[in-house]
Structure 1
Amino acid sequence: MFSENRNTILAIVLSLIVLLGWQYFVAQPQLERQQAELQAQQAAEQAQAELNGDPTKPTPNAVPGQASAPTSSAAAIGLTREQAIASSERVKIETPKLSGSINLTGARLDDLRLKDYHETVDKSSPTIVLLSPKGGPTPYYADYGWVADPGSDVVLPEADTLWTVEDNDQLTPSTPVTLSYDNGSGLIFKRTYSLDENYMFTIEQSVQNNTDTAVNLYPYGLIARNGQPETAGFYILHEGLLGVFGEEGLREIDYSDLEEENQIRPAEVDQGWLGITDKYWATTLIPTPGETFQPSFSYSSVSKNFQADFLGQGVSVPAGGEDGTSSYLFAGAKQKHLLDAYEDSIGVAKFNLLIDWGWFYFLTKPMFFAIDWLFHLVGNFGVAILLVTVGVKLVFFPLANKSYVSMSKMKLVQPQMTEIRERYSDDRAKQ
């Protein structure tokens, strides 16, 4: 038996050596060559784009005869994150869970830190950065706005529009912030950010029409991330773009898949959400449940931007009147109890699927509930894991005990079996 175990271990070790050798000497050089070719192609595309026009100007997705959410084009331009933040006027965000700011240029949410989480186990290490502004090393932000019908001459706020603070100069759970922009042609745009004590933003957009003609506009929301972040690379854990869309349910899109397809447009739905997820954190757009929206995922080979966006139902703002819409944005840690609470309070369909439970969810979810319950009982994750391990051992003890008994019996007869093999070494039938 021990000889067989030794052979099995040897076979596993040799297999690992072969796999690692193949990865290092064959697969890795091929991957590096492909990446070099891709970079050369992207550089050529960037050069051509610069010859044809301004590559940093947002342009609408090409859908003939249909309004679409703009395509963001953020790229790093050499500033540090701190320099990029300091280069624009801002409204501060301060809550028990979050800190950061809203950029008055574009009214973008592009500066957010998670106060309860640190880069290392050392509590004095920097807190986790979730969102970062354009111009810095890793732009990642959420943006909202309006688009008009194709061919319309309505003057809309753009990415470089400077908004004005109307009331509070700091966003807290008790003080929402309202920003406004007057287009000089009779339209006044307002955007109000509200935030609870955790990670859920409410974004209300309205338009005051002081002209003598009704205006048709479509609200949009987008999350843009420049470049592919470093991921865990664990094949059963999804990191990338994802969403839940009505009856279609959960859809997960890898960064590499979106790079190949450039754009993915699920069907219009009136229930769901979409965004970008990391291992522990996520940024998610949540249109108001019950209102139809067009979801979309896109990638730009020029700006290297990954984007998740939605286009909402059209709003007709009457002459001399005002109208608007609202939606939600989740930006924070993927805590199971919070996702469940938002699913109930807001009506976000299947929001707990923001957590990837893996292929064996029927095992991982009960294990999580057990560990989480024990953690809240004893106050220590290590002790909770040990208690769950002991519990699993007890559950499977009857099966394990049968195995131990069988092994014990085999050990007892092992000397007789050895003696028989030696006595009848030349007679296999008697053995």
Structure 2
Amino acid sequence: MSDQKNLIVAIALSVAILLGFQFFYEVPRTEQQQAEQARQLAASGTQTPGPEATSDPLKPGPDAPASGSAEAPAATAESAMAASPRVAINSPRLHGSIALRGARIDDLTLADYHVTVEKQSPEITLLSPVGSANPYYAEFGWTPEPGSDVKVPTSRTLWQAEGGPLTPASPLKLTWDNGEGLRFERVVALDRQYMFTVKDSVVNYGEEPVTLYPYGLVSRHGMPKTVGFYILHEGFLGVFNEKLLEEKYDDIAEDGRVRESSNDGWLGITDKYWLTALVPSQGEHFEGSFRHSPAGEKFQADYLKDAVTVPAGASAETTNRLFAGAKEVGVLEGYEDSLGIQRFDLAIDWGWFYFLTKPIFYALDYIYGVVGNFGLAIIILVIAIKIVFLPLAHKSYVSMSKMKNLQPEMMKLRERYGEDRAKLNQEMMGLYKKEKVNPASGCLPILLQIPVFFALYKVLFVSIEMRHQPFYGWISDLSAPDPTNIFTAFGMIPWDAPSFLHLGIWPLLMGVSMFLQQKLNPQPVDPMQARIFLIMPIMFTFLLASFPAGLVIYWTCNNLLSMGQQWLIMHRMKVKKT
């Protein structure tokens, strides 16, 4: 067998191993994750009530230790909400409230997104108060310089509200007086998307100047549940001096703290689809950090701005922003342009093939805007990619057709020199040279499409725009695996099949199309190689059964188009059927 044939086998097996990583390190199915989240939402309203947690965050002071107090058992969602007076948040895309005790933004749900594909399922809960099942909140404020006894607002401070509810048309004003010469004022505004603007001011009506540090923090209690897949980052992230920094929860829990200094950028905590990010005023220096406290299992992203000295009889103001919502490409890029937030689009984990992933997303999104269905957009994208690669693919299929015509000659050489491998390879290469055939040319289109395949996989996996997008028939979510299963007769057999026996209709169609396409290719001379090639469609069928349905549709349509093109070329060249 020629070295070129070995190369083809090596490439094919390498692709299989890469795809098989997901099979052996299986990601929990989307349906299971959604069901678990629904159970958590239901459980948050039925747990045993407990006392109010102390809930002090890890203050981002100049030399604040990474410490925190242990918290009380989780109370019901209702009792956690009732622990503080609240002002409602009502916008087209966000629902929730601000706690007047501590002035925290700690109650937020996403109006446009639900736990499952069913519209009647609960809205996605992003932020929750201390005392609930999964505390997660944002806080802004002032911290005094070390050694100072200046009284500043804390998590227990009860602010006074003027107005409410908070809507895009009506900001909310909060005030608190420390009774010692300082009045703290806050104006919270919310746009029609996911951005809060928080303007904090300090009025010094005392007789002495005071020095304070503005800060912002996002705190999350408990080890968050993540998808746990190697191609997706969940945890801390931020952009400091135009460079992206990503840190996993486990790494911060082990190291305790990571610090970065910058004059621009942002930082926060990300999930697969959701982001809570602090955005300091661009152009102002700040010290950012990611930290963890084992007491209460707290994870926190925070920043501390430079000291502000407020003379007696004067005031000072600082502006902070908070993004809390879905990682929609258009929204993130809109903020990047309008607010000058550096590289805000990197909140989405585009991956190694960033240069391909984003263009593929733009192409799909544009086509979707025309046809109104992401499944159709994927099929049209396949056709467009085939057109782009048409000259190269044509040359490859012509070469493979010539190879197929050479099968009888190759078999004769094998019968003649089968025991002499060196002589057989020499004669094979002579035959290829004589007939002007390159046996490795068929690999080139596959090699070129591998990055496109993985880039499309990334788009389907991380883009919120693809979440819960239906196709025709039984596919209700292109970002999830095909829900059908031939081993349960599509639900007629009451059997909870193991995950490796979950095989839907689209993966089966993909496997059949791959098998038929292989039949059009030159058949391997070596029996062992022929058996490997025969097994590959079966292996890929089961591997892709756990992949997003949109990706399987892409692969199936690509196979069918390739078969059609190859058949036409073979018919034109009068290739003999074998």
Match of residue 104 from structure 2: 108
CA–CA distance in 1 between the matches of 2:231 and 2:382?
22
Cα RMSD after superposing both structures: 3.2
- Highest CA radius of gyration, 1 or 2? 2
> How much has 1:427 moved relative to structure 2?
7.5
CA–CA distance in 2 between the matches of 1:223 and 1:389?
42
Distance 1:20 1:341, change over 3 A: closer
Query: Is residue 256–residue 292 contact of structure 2 (8 Å, CA) maintained in 1?
Result: yes
Alignment equivalent of 1:176, drawn from 166, 171, 175: 171
Query: Is residue 76–residue 138 contact of structure 1 (8 Å, CA) maintained in 2?
Result: no
* Greater helix share, structure number: 2
> How much has 1:121 moved relative to structure 2?
1.1
SS across alignment from 1:170: coil
Alignment equivalent of 2:397, drawn from 397, 400, 404: 404
Query: Is residue 214–residue 318 contact of structure 2 (8 Å, CA) maintained in 1?
Result: yes
Query: Is residue 271–residue 349 contact of structure 1 (8 Å, CA) maintained in 2?
Result: yes
CA–CA distance in 1 between the matches of 2:65 and 2:281?
17
Distance 1:423 1:284, change over 3 A: closer
Tell me, yes or no, if structure 1 residue 253 matches structure 2 residue 253. no
Match of residue 319 from structure 1: 312
Please give the per-residue CA displacement for 1:111-137, whole angstroms capped at 9, x wherever unaligned: 001111111111111111111110111
Match of residue 164 from structure 1: 160
Note the residue ranges of structure 2 that are not aligned, 5 or more in a row. Answer: 27-52, 428-578
TM-score (norm: length of structure 1): 0.83
Query: Is residue 227–residue 272 contact of structure 2 (8 Å, CA) maintained in 1?
Result: yes
Tell me, yes or no, if structure 1 residue 96 matches structure 2 residue 65. no
TM-score (norm: length of structure 2): 0.63
Tell me, yes or no, if structure 1 residue 235 matches structure 2 residue 230. yes
* Greater strand share, structure number: 1
Alignment equivalent of 1:219, drawn from 211, 214, 221: 214
> How much has 1:19 moved relative to structure 2?
8.2
Match of residue 193 from structure 1: 188
CA–CA distance in 2 between the matches of 1:382 and 1:93?
36
Match of residue 41 from structure 1: none
CA–CA distance in 2 between the matches of 1:426 and 1:152?
89
Match of residue 28 from structure 1: none
Match of residue 282 from structure 1: 275
Report sequence identity in percent: 51
Match for 1:194: what amino acid? Answer: A
Tell me, yes or no, if structure 1 residue 270 matches structure 2 residue 270. no
Moved over 3 A (4+): 3-16, 18-24, 54-61, 66-76, 419-431
Distance 1:9 1:88, change over 3 A: same
Query: Is residue 203–residue 328 contact of structure 1 (8 Å, CA) maintained in 2?
Result: yes
> How much has 1:13 moved relative to structure 2?
12
Match of residue 386 from structure 1: 379
Tell me, yes or no, if structure 1 residue 120 matches structure 2 residue 120. no
Query: Is residue 265–residue 297 contact of structure 1 (8 Å, CA) maintained in 2?
Result: yes
Match of residue 80 from structure 2: 84
The within-5 A match list for 1:133-152 is 133-152=129-148
Please give the per-residue CA displacement for 1:78-101, whole angstroms capped at 9, x wherever unaligned: 213343123321100000010000
Query: Is residue 68–residue 295 contact of structure 2 (8 Å, CA) maintained in 1?
Result: no
> How much has 1:228 moved relative to structure 2?
2.5
> How much has 1:243 moved relative to structure 2?
0.9
Note the residue ranges of structure 1 that are not aligned, 5 or more in a row. Answer: 25-53
SS across alignment from 1:142: strand
> How much has 1:403 moved relative to structure 2?
2.6
Query: Is residue 75–residue 139 contact of structure 1 (8 Å, CA) maintained in 2?
Result: no
Query: Is residue 219–residue 325 contact of structure 1 (8 Å, CA) maintained in 2?
Result: yes
> How much has 1:109 moved relative to structure 2?
0.2
> How much has 1:413 moved relative to structure 2?
2.3
Distance 1:390 1:289, change over 3 A: same
SS across alignment from 1:136: coil
SS across alignment from 1:256: helix
Query: Is residue 69–residue 147 contact of structure 1 (8 Å, CA) maintained in 2?
Result: no
CA–CA distance in 1 between the matches of 2:318 and 2:121?
40
Query: Is residue 55–residue 73 contact of structure 1 (8 Å, CA) maintained in 2?
Result: yes
CA–CA distance in 1 between the matches of 2:344 and 2:402?
53
CA–CA distance in 2 between the matches of 1:272 and 1:238?
19
